[in-house]
Amino acid sequence: MTWQGWFQITLYVAVLTALTPLLGGYMARVYMGRRVVLERVLGPVERGFYRVVRTDPALEQDWKQYGRTVLVFSALFWLALYAILRLQGALPFNPLQFGRAPWNVTFNTTSSFITNTNWQYYGGETTMSHLSQMAGLAVQNFVSAAVGMAVLAAVIRGFARRETTKLGNFWVDLTRSLLYILLPLSIIGTLVLVSEGVVQTFTGSVSLTTIHGFEQVLALGPVASQIAIKQLGTNGGGFFNVNSAFPFENATTFSNFVQVLFILLIPAAATYQYGRMIGRVRQGWALYIAMLLMLAIGLGNAYYNEAKATPALTAAGVHAAANSGSTGGNLSDKEQRFGIANSALWSTATTNASNGSVNAAQEASTGFGGMTPLVNMMTGEVIFGGVGSGLYGMLLVVLLTVFLAGLMVGRTPEYLGKKIQAREVKLVAIGTLYMPVVVLIAAALAIATPAGKKSIYDSGPQGFSETVYAYTSQTNNNGSAFAGYTGFVQPNAPGNQGATGVPFADLVGGLCMLLGRFIPLLAALAVAGSLAAKRPVPAGPGTFRTDSPIFLVLLVGVVVIVAALSFLPALALGPIVQGLSNQLF
């Protein structure tokens, strides 16, 4: 570890914290229906869209109507994206003449981008046409992010309102998310990335001669516009196979800083948005501090373990180099222009959010260093989390914490003056405990069945970690991967000769992504609908303050304990035993 690395990390946290109230306050105004500057230009577009979908913006929905609209809307876009990808070979803007991907990979990819996961069992530059990238994947980067942000706005209204069943209008929340938040931020981000050298062109490829005299073809395309929204919308799907480690996607150290800042920008701002919309800014800051504390713990672990010599590195003789004045540490599959600190920062941020983009290979991390991104996802990705989904997931954990605190003191739990009763607790249990159940069942099937084993390339703790990571990532709608686990059969793996696809990994993974997106979404809406109908009670001497340091410690403790009880055996069989052994990866 170096002082320069810690300075870069400190600067990142400072900028993120400074921008949180600025963007969060603006987002609160957008969802509270207050006038913003962009309405002068985009107001006619907004009103025109309402006429197209035939909705009255003043007509609000209860949680069931809101949830049904989300499901139908997502299903229609699922069908549209599946059609685009399957018909790719016959559609225009396909300069490299790519055909269609296998149906099972297309199912997985469609489910991935609809659910804001952006898990990829394919290489973008060798599989997707420009039309598929722009009209298919990039559109879903906007739409899936806007769905999460819209649902969060509805959930916050449920926490803030009293004696009503109405949570807002999905079409209004969706439209305002797109027009007033995601679109302008993406335009700014695209211009910044293009200025730094990130590619933005309709050219299909360029041929060149290397310094060794070999001919090489490099794929090009409309990259910068997709990278901006992939980071801002916590999507993460790469235009190129190696994602943001590739200079065409991430050209300079400044573009690297901007992109990793974009990953947490909206999720962090959502905490301040929450405080403003419920009229209690301290509550929003309390959630931000809790999330930042957990981010710092994970980041410290990742940086420390990647920067020091492990048993495997010591056995390889790297420890001597570290003692001789070299920076040492694990530089395997890391970009030298970013170094260990920025690689650890990105790895932590991308798995704290439901982003999944990478600027270094996750699977080449040390055992304990690679445990940080895995544990981040095992918390349910409530440490900032995805746009919208992270905060409404954290609010479910807040209610669970309040309930447990009430049990400890023998008092009916309350949050924001509303009693938390049996109905809310049952819904919270569904929204928080579904994830470990789905992950552990899917991983067990992958490890124990012949069909599942075909996707596992590595043996020992690394292969186990890759498998658990894959289903943890997909169920949490993250999208990052330990790349040894694949949706295509490894041709040199035992018994896999002649096979080209693995329907098990594609189909089970796609199902995990769909469940991981919509179960907590519906649970959060149901909780919000239940709370909105309640009559607040005045605070009394025994009311437990939920913006105090004691509550923050208890909240972080609940997040850690739930994750540990669910996943500690899996961690012990994978990254922990690997970190204590001489096996690097």
What is the rounded average pLDDT of the residues 433-439?
92
Task: Give the count of alpha carbons within 13 A of 511, CB side only.
Answer: 10
Whether the pLDDT of residue 51 is over 90: the answer is yes
List the single range of 99-113, 301-315, 349-363 with lowest mean pLDDT.
301-315
Q: What is the pTM of this model?
A: 0.90
What is the rounded average pLDDT of the residues 300-324?
64
Helices vs strands, H then E, count in the chain: 23, 4
Q: Which residues share a beta bridge with 167?
A: none
The better pLDDT of the pair 481, 391 is held by 391
Q: What was the pLDDT predicted at 311?
A: 59
- Rounded CA Rg of the chain: 23
The better pLDDT of the pair 513, 497 is held by 513
List the single range of 107-121, 271-285, 303-317, 365-379 with lowest mean pLDDT.
303-317
- The three state secondary structure string of 49-68 is HHHHHCCCCCCCECHHHHHH
Full DSSP string of 324-363:
TTS--S--TTB-TTTHHHHHHHHHHHHHHTT----SB-GG
- Cα dihedral 49, 116, 158, 563, rounded to 10, equals 180
Task: Give the count of alpha carbons within 13 A of 395, CB side only.
Answer: 36
CB 158 within 8 A of CB 165: no
CA distance 524 to 382: 13
Q: What was the pLDDT predicted at 107?
A: 93
List the single range of 14-28, 195-209, 292-306 with lowest mean pLDDT.
195-209
What is the rounded average pLDDT of the residues 320-342?
69
Q: What was the pLDDT predicted at 322?
A: 43
- Cα dihedral 446, 448, 449, 450, rounded to 10, equals 100
CA distance 295 to 196: 28
- Cα separation values, 209 from 220, 248, 555, Å: 16, 18, 57
Cα 216 to its chain centre, rounded Å, is: 34
The better pLDDT of the pair 129, 502 is held by 129
Backbone angles phi, psi at 149, to 5 degrees: -70, -35
- 297 in helix, strand or coil? helix
CB 141 within 8 A of CB 235: yes
- The model's confidence at residue 499, banded by pLDDT at 50, 70 and 90, is very low
Backbone angles phi, psi at 566, to 5 degrees: -85, -35
What is the rounded average pLDDT of the residues 336-361?
89
Going by C-alpha positions, the residue among 24, 43, 47 that lies closest to residue 35 is 43
Q: What was the pLDDT predicted at 575?
A: 75
Task: Give the count of alpha carbons within 13 A of 92, CB side only.
Answer: 1
Q: What was the pLDDT predicted at 313?
A: 57
CA distance 119 to 172: 29
Amino acid at 91: L
Q: What was the pLDDT predicted at 492?
A: 45
Indicate the average pLDDT of the chain: 87
List the single range of 52-56, 114-118, 333-337, 365-369 with lowest mean pLDDT.
365-369
Task: Give the count of alpha carbons within 13 A of 398, CB side only.
Answer: 28
- Which residue has 């180099």 as its token pair? 321
Q: What was the pLDDT predicted at 373?
A: 87
Q: Which two tokens stand for residue 103?
A: 């149906």
CA distance 100 to 86: 5
Q: What was the pLDDT predicted at 190?
A: 95
Going by C-alpha positions, the residue among 346, 572, 353 that lies closest to residue 478 is 353
Whether the pLDDT of residue 321 is over 60: the answer is no
Residue 181, H or E segment: none
List helix spans (H) across 422-459: 422-448, 450-453
List the single range of 101-105, 135-139, 558-562 with lowest mean pLDDT.
101-105
